[in-house]
Amino acid sequence: MQDLRTIGQKAKAAARQMRLADAQAKNEALEEMAQAIEAKAAQIIEANQEDLAKGQEAGLTEALLERLTLTPDRIQGMANGLRQMASLPDPLLVTDKEWINRDGLRISRRRVPLGVIGIIYESRPNVTVDAAGLTLKAGNSTILRGGKEALTSNQTIVAILQDALAETQLPREAVQLITNPSRKLASQFMQMNDYVDCLIPRGSAGLIQAVLKQATVPVIETGEGNCHLYIHEAADFDKALKILINGKTQRPSVCNALENLIIDEQVASDYLPKFVDALAAHNVEVVGDHKACSIDRRIALAQEEDFAQEFLDLKLAVKITSSYAEAVEHIEAYSTGHSDAIITENYQVAQDFMNDIDSAAVYVNASTRFTDGEVFGFGGEIGISTQKLHARGPMGLEALTSYKYTIQGDGQIRS
Amino acid sequence: MQDLRTIGQKAKAAARQMRLADAQAKNEALEEMAQAIEAKAAQIIEANQEDLAKGQEAGLTEALLERLTLTPDRIQGMANGLRQMASLPDPLLVTDKEWINRDGLRISRRRVPLGVIGIIYESRPNVTVDAAGLTLKAGNSTILRGGKEALTSNQTIVAILQDALAETQLPREAVQLITNPSRKLASQFMQMNDYVDCLIPRGSAGLIQAVLKQATVPVIETGEGNCHLYIHEAADFDKALKILINGKTQRPSVCNALENLIIDEQVASDYLPKFVDALAAHNVEVVGDHKACSIDRRIALAQEEDFAQEFLDLKLAVKITSSYAEAVEHIEAYSTGHSDAIITENYQVAQDFMNDIDSAAVYVNASTRFTDGEVFGFGGEIGISTQKLHARGPMGLEALTSYKYTIQGDGQIRS
């Protein structure tokens, strides 16, 4: 039986070593980890088969089993991901700013790691490698707490990563896994303020809410995306159609997929039927307000909650608006602050939209599907934050760091 | 009886207006608030007398009554503080960075307000004005929850601020006060995730722990300072003495005051007695480890907990170390990560110390008393963060902001 306190102490000791590790040592460790994953792919597949067999017995849904499954391709993807991280600039080689204050003190704000990061996640075992790699690259140690469905896969992967780390200058305990699936233990983990600097839950809304409720350790909330596409009266039809179909159908199950369509009534009777044609060709179910239904009979009347909900499926809610102000108000009322877009050729309206909408990512004439750390150019992401504290939107390596001030004087005292 | 939900809704509506307020409108409002405070100083004094009378009846300590007291000078200080905030650069007129990604999207990271900030504090009524002014300058709305001892003072001050705001373009509800002293209500306030973006507790360790325990809203922890001064063997004696006395005696009750002195044994028998002389002249009680006691008989033997404790008083714990590594280890074991300093003339040791010590502020040859937003040049501070998430060390206006991404395209979709 694992002792959480021991895990915490080891993580803290490892964090101390990690904090002082140089960029090269970390990159070599990532390469070592990548090679180990490749060399032991068969062992990972075997462990994964065990989890899959148990999952089938336990009656997991097809979708869950799919997420749980590791194939040789997916394992290669994990190794490639680690090498990609090694190639990224080190986020700690940065001084944000430096100045001299009125007392003649030289004050520098330097990037430092967060310390010990706890990651709480669900069934995807690739998160294990991804999270371990990113947190390590940013100079942290990690305590992972995965879902019990993936326990054997995760144990195998973490053992491989730890053995690889043992071959490097970095501490083996830079990556640890909580193997006891007890919820009580998980809850204790979320309150280990003496050992854990930050918790990042990755998974369903239920998981995230549970962590927020129980944690006393600071949490970075990665949340739901009830994303809107607003077709302004000055929209270009071709861009609108293309971006609508991309946002709704390219990968409907993810948080940056579109859930809501807003159309200015000036263009609605012209555009909406063509949109519904295209959506129907992609098997998207469309619901809408009274005005939308009256424009196109194929649209079913939406319930109030349809506008507030993340369908994560081939379903879309349509609202017809009579002004820009009404559209902004609707987005403010229903958006979860993840990603919202406008299609317009009007310069001033585009500027206003970027100011008015208070979401992590605000788009003009582009698909909300771009909200992603890799696409943004961060080289990867640990999640997409929907809170405003610390980090917002796609979180790359910088979100896994903090800063400290160094103050250099020559004998100054405060008067 | 106040309804928390109503307060939350009003704060959120006000935050929406505040978000779009321009720099000039905010600065004019701060000036309006300053004038109102000046004009109604007598009314504030009267309300404060009421609180003081109740406090005396209730048997508050002299120290608490002192903190609660508002004098004409202190009230003028509050007004001056607001004018000082008006003169600061607006933290929202900033784009942190902008780049074009591989898809040709122009991605900007722009500063935006946090939204609704909750401030939970204890008996100092000047915090009311200070917190309201800083959060407003950063484009937020605020819900204040002060201590019940200062309730009449706080109510009077907030009413004056709201009346002043009513004369401006900004919403009256940009500043609100929870007047019901119920703890249950305070606890509900800490869980209003739908309305509050961030909580900042200001006050005793007990208050902060209570907020961390109960809150589901993200908290910025402002914490204890168990600050160390390490006299390295290559220290300049004069600098060491001056900085020691400043750190320990200039204002012993604050979080950046010194609590611990570490001396390398190579210089301890020479320096320590002279330090104790000077400390004695300032009525500082000195406790220390066995080595310290054997060097100077005036030093009483320290208990283990003396090294871990924030005395916040004229008391100091001394530890004698036989190496740099031992000193760093001691600091790592006992520091609360607030402010720690080294005195040395050795270049390499100074560099190492700044790397090795994981505290918010790490000093070389300067007093820890400088850890302060005003002194750092931020124009003011909302507190000193001892957590690593979001903001660390003295928090100025930037700590009261978040960011959002705007993404400008010309029809891009994700493939």
Same domain, B295 and B188: no
Shortest Cα–Cα distance, A288 to chain B (Å): 24
Cβ within 8 Å of residue B354, ≥6 positions away: A406, A408, B362, B364
pLDDT beyond 80 at A123: no
CA atoms within 13 A on the CB side of A186: 22
The count of domains in chain A is: 2
- pLDDT tops 90 at residue A7: yes
| Rg of chain A (C-alpha set) | 24
- Return the amino acid letter for B58: A
Q: For residues A330 and A231, what is the distance between their CA atoms, to the nearest angstrom?
A: 13
Q: Are B368 and B343 in contact (CB under 8 A)?
A: no
Calculate how close chain A gets to B389, using CA atoms only, in Å. Answer: 6
The reply to whether residue B413 touches residue A361, judged by beta carbons under 8 angstroms, is no
Residue that has been written with the tokens 């001050």 in this structure:
B157
Residue A93 forms contact with B (CB below 8 Å): no
Which residue, among A213, A404, A408, A410, would best test binding to B if mutated, counting the most B CBs under 10 Å from its CB? A404
Integer angstrom CA distances of residue B148 from A90, A221, B23, B123, B188: 49, 33, 34, 8, 17
For residue A107, pLDDT over 70 is answered with yes
A100 touches chain B (CB under 8 A): no
Tell whether A246 is within 8 A of chain B (Cβ).
yes
CB contact under 8 A, A216 and B218: no
The answer to whether residue B221 neighbours chain A at the CB level (below 8 Å) is yes
Is the residue at B414 inside a domain?
Answer: no
Q: Are residues A148 and A251 in the same domain?
A: no
Beta bridge partners of B201: B120
CA distance B243 to A415: 11
> What does A193-253 look like in DSSP terms, one character per residue?
TTT-SEEEEES-HHHHHHHHHH--S-B--B----EEEEE-TT--HHHHHHHHHHHHHSSTT
Give me the pLDDT at residue A1, please: 60
Q: Is residue B382 part of a domain?
A: no
Interchain pair A355, B410: CB under 8 A: no
From A356, A376, A413, residue closest to B367, measured CB to CB = A413
Please indicate whether, in this complex, the C-beta atoms of B408 and A364 are within 8 angstroms of each other. yes
Question: What is each CA distance from A32 to A43, A70, A78, A134, B310, in whole angstroms?
Answer: 17, 21, 13, 14, 44
DSSP 8-state class, residue B360: S
**Residue numbers of A between 290 and 329 with CB closer than 8 Å to B:** none
To test the contact with chain A by mutation, choose from B198, B347, B388 the residue with the greatest count of A C-beta atoms within 10 A, namely: B388
Partner-chain contact B376 A410, CB within 8 Å: no
Instruction: Tell me, yes or no, whether A66 and A212 share the same domain.
Output: yes
In a shared domain, residues A112 and A198: yes
Does residue B106 form part of some domain? yes
Minimal CA separation from A392 to chain B, in Å: 7
Each residue's pLDDT tens digit, A238-291: 999 999 999 999 999 889 999 999 999 999 999 999 999 999 999 999 999 999
Same domain flag for A247 and A216: no
The stretch A171-179 carries a mean pLDDT of: 97
pLDDT tens for chain B, 415 residues: list them.
679 999 999 999 999 999 999 999 999 999 999 999 999 999 999 999 999 999 999 999 988 899 899 999 999 999 999 999 999 999 999 999 999 999 999 999 999 999 999 999 987 898 999 999 999 999 999 999 999 999 999 999 999 999 999 999 999 999 999 999 888 999 999 999 999 999 999 988 889 889 988 998 999 988 789 999 999 999 999 999 999 999 999 999 889 999 999 999 999 999 999 999 999 999 999 999 999 999 999 999 999 999 999 999 999 999 999 999 999 999 999 999 999 999 999 999 999 999 999 999 999 999 999 999 999 999 888 999 988 999 999 999 999 999 999 999 999 999 9
Q: What are phi and psi of B39, to 5 degrees?
A: -65, -30
Q: Is A374 on the interface with B (CB under 8 A)?
A: no
For residue A287, what is the domain's CATH number? Answer: 3.40.309.10
CA angle A320, A323, A328 (to 5 degrees): 85
The mean pLDDT value for A36-48 works out to 98
Q: Is residue A299 part of a domain?
A: yes
A402–B388: do the CB atoms touch at under 8 Å?
yes
**Average of pLDDT values for A85-106?**
96
Q: What is the pLDDT of residue B1?
A: 60
Give chain B positions within 8 Å (CB) of A245: 413
User: Minimal CA–CA distance to B352: which of A110, A272, A179, A20?
Assistant: A20
Whether A415 is in a domain gets the answer: no
Radius of gyration of chain B (CA): 24
Average pLDDT over residues A159-178: 97
How far CA A197 is from CA of A120, A177, A202, in Å, comes to 14, 16, 17
Residues A369, A323 within the same domain: yes
Which tokens sit at B403?
Answer: 């960011």
Distance from the Cα of B193 to chain A's closest Cα (Å) equals: 10
Q: Is residue B380 part of a domain?
A: no
Which among A1, A9, A34 is positioned nearest to A157, based on CA atoms?
A34
Are B258 and B192 members of one domain?
A: no
Answer whether A9 touches B (CB < 8 Å): no
Scan for tokens 């992972």, then name that residue.
Answer: A144
Output the pLDDT for position A205. Answer: 84
Q: Are residues A144 and A187 in the same domain?
A: yes
Q: Tell me if A135 sits within 8 A of A119, measured CB to CB.
A: yes
Q: Which residues of B88-114 are buried (b: 16+ CB within 10 A; e: fewer)?
A: bebbbeeeeeeeebebebebbbbbbbb
Instruction: Write the residue in B101, B377, B390 that is nearest to A99 by C-beta.
Output: B377
Place of tokens 């992603």: A372
CA distance B98 to chain A (A): 11
**Among candidates B139, B181, B185, which has minimal Cα distance to B5?**
B185
Retrieve residue B392's tokens: 């660390």
DSSP state letter for B222: B
Nearest to A409 among B218, B363, B387 (CB): B363
* Weakest mean pLDDT among A305-309, A365-369, B212-216: B212-216
pLDDT of the residue at B63: 84
Contact between A85 and A380 (Cβ < 8 Å): yes
**A404 vs B358: CB contact, 8 Å cut-off?**
yes
**Residues of chain A with C-beta less than 8 angstroms from the C-beta of B395:** none
Sheet with B95-100, side-by-side order of all strands: A300-301, A285-288, A315-321, A258-264, A227-231, A339-343, A361-366, B401-412, B106-113, B95-100
B355 touches chain A (CB under 8 A): yes
Q: What is the CATH number of the domain that holds A399?
A: 3.40.605.10
Query: Is A167 near chain B, with CB under 8 Å?
Result: no
Residue B279 lies inside a defined structural domain of this protein: yes
Count of residues making up chain A: 415
- Residues of B within 8 A of A199 (CB-CB) are none
Both B105 and B204 in one domain: the answer is yes
Rounded Cα distance, B19 and B110, in Å? 13
B275 is in which domain, residue-wise? 227-374
If you ran DSSP here, which 8-state letter would residue A59 be given?
T
Residue A2: is its pLDDT beyond 80? no
Whether B217 and B239 share a structural domain: no
Across the interface, whether the CB atoms of B413 and A112 are under 8 A apart is answered no
Task: Give yes or no for B392 touching A (CB within 8 A).
Answer: yes
> How far from B415 is each of A6, A242, A260, A380, CA to CA, in Å?
46, 11, 21, 17
User: Which spans in B357-412 are helix H?
Assistant: 373-376
Phi, psi of A278 (to 5 degrees): -65, -40
Verify that A214 and A120 share a domain, yes or no: yes
Which residues of chain B make contact with A250, given a CB cutoff of 8 A?
413-414
The candidate with the shortest Cα–Cα distance to A32, out of A153, A169, A144, A191, is A169
**At what angle are helices B151-166 and B41-57 packed, to 10 degrees?**
160
Contact B314, B282 (CB under 8 A): yes
Quote the minimal CA–CA distance from A53 to chain B in Å.
34
In a shared domain, residues B173 and B145: yes
Q: Is residue A413 part of a domain?
A: no
